[in-house]
Amino acid sequence: MKKFMNSVDTILTESLHGFAAAHADILTLDPSGKFIQRKALKAGKVALISGGGSGHEPLHGGFVGHGMLDAACPGQVFTSPTPDQMVEAAAAVDTGAGCLFIVKNYEGDVMNFEMGAEMAGGQVMSVITNDDVAVEDSTWTTGRRGVAGTMVVEKIAGAAAESGMALAPLAELAKRVNANARSMGVALTSCTVPAAGKPTFDIGDGEMEFGVGIHGEPGRRRDTLKSADAIAEEICTSIVNDLGDRAKGNALLFVNGFGGTPVMELYLMYNSARAILEKKGVTIVRSLVGSYVTSLDMAGCSITVVMMDGEMLDLWDRPVHTAGLRWGM
């Protein structure tokens, strides 16, 4: 294992301190390291809080700032944050309009955020993201996994919160975005968790893991490596079939790298996916390409399609200023 680190025990702490120092104009790190919070809080705005295991950067800390999250709670690598992190984050960023928790559908995350909401008291609502169509259940989840579509929920809900939307309609909006989002990923290599010191799974040079999860969980099947067009065709067909009648009209196409994939290859996959989707009647009106929801050093990518109505398009276009996503400011 070759990684830039001083110690397995300090890698997360040192990374968080470096992250906070590099983006001190946008955010601050709680002195205990339990959460990252937006530097300039807006009074009377619903506070958006998310989080999860580290190793998926820039999700979630990279999306703290204007137009997205007010706080993010980082767990250890691929490990859920603890309820006390959510409680302390909520106390720090709730300016009187309540908090919305955005939670990826993994059992540890769901359980701990639920406990955090109960312990926090006050006005707290939660939205579970579950956009992965690859598998219905895994050892990590009951139901579908929450993956790259989570970032889209955070962006659209974040813009709505910034404009003053109240807690209950904001939660309904976030649920609607999640319901319109579908994702699937493919891995060409494994990831290596620092504490483990070896790849999470073995995969041959001529193989790919189809439908892989963002922690290296198994997908639909192990298969021989295929062309980009063939990979995109299977993923896009699965997404469109799963959307059913929703898969007509305007959409966001989001091609997300897992951390070890060159940008050139991500745009190649975008080119393939866009052509396939438009042949199937999906009109791509917004696009995003890059590594936003990663899995440490895994080579591979996911494709996310979010069907967009007029309100969602307007909110997607609103200004955002975070470490990981910014435009319009």
Say which of 23, 56, 60, 66 is annotated catalytic: 56
Single out the catalytic residue among 23, 60, 66, 215: 215
Structural domain that includes position 76: 22-180
Residue 170 domain-assigned (yes or no): yes
| Residue 238 belongs to some domain of the structure | yes
pLDDT at 122: 83
Q: Residue 23, SS3?
A: coil
Question: End of a domain among 132, 148, 180?
Answer: 180
Rounded to the nearest 10 degrees, how much is the dihedral formed by the CA atoms of 153, 155, 160, 163? 170
Distances (CA, A) of 292 to 50, 125, 151, 298: 15, 25, 8, 13
The 10 Å Cβ neighbour count of residue 154 is 28
Catalytic (active site) residue 56: yes
pLDDT at 140: 65
Q: pTM of the entire structure?
A: 0.96
Q: Where does residue 280 fall: left (phi above 0), alpha (psi -120 to 50 degrees), or beta otherwise?
A: alpha
215 is a catalytic site residue: yes
Q: Is 82 within a domain?
A: yes
| Residues 110-129: tens digit of each pLDDT | 999 999 999 998 899 999 99
Q: How many domains does the chain have?
A: 2
Specify if 44 maps to a domain: yes
User: For residue 320, is it within any domain?
Assistant: no
Q: Are 328 and 320 in contact (CB under 8 A)?
A: yes
217: pLDDT confidence band, cut at 50, 70 and 90? confident
Residue closest to 154 by CA, chosen among 297, 17, 324, 22: 324
Q: What is the CATH number of the domain that holds 219?
A: 3.30.1180.20
Residues 26, 147, single domain; the answer is yes
Q: Which residues are within 8 A (CB) of 33 and not within 5 positions of it... i.e. 6 or more apart?
A: 13, 16
In a domain, 275, yes or no: yes
* Claim to verify: residue 295 and residue 202 sit in the same structural domain: yes
Question: 44 and 165 share a domain?
Answer: yes
The average pLDDT across 221-235 equals 96
Distance, CA of 138 to CA of 94 (rounded, Å): 34
Diameter of the chain measured on Cα atoms:
55
Alpha helices in 101-227, H assignment, sequence order: 107-120, 149-162, 167-179
Do both 210 and 73 map to the same domain?
Answer: no
User: Mean pLDDT for the chain?
Assistant: 95
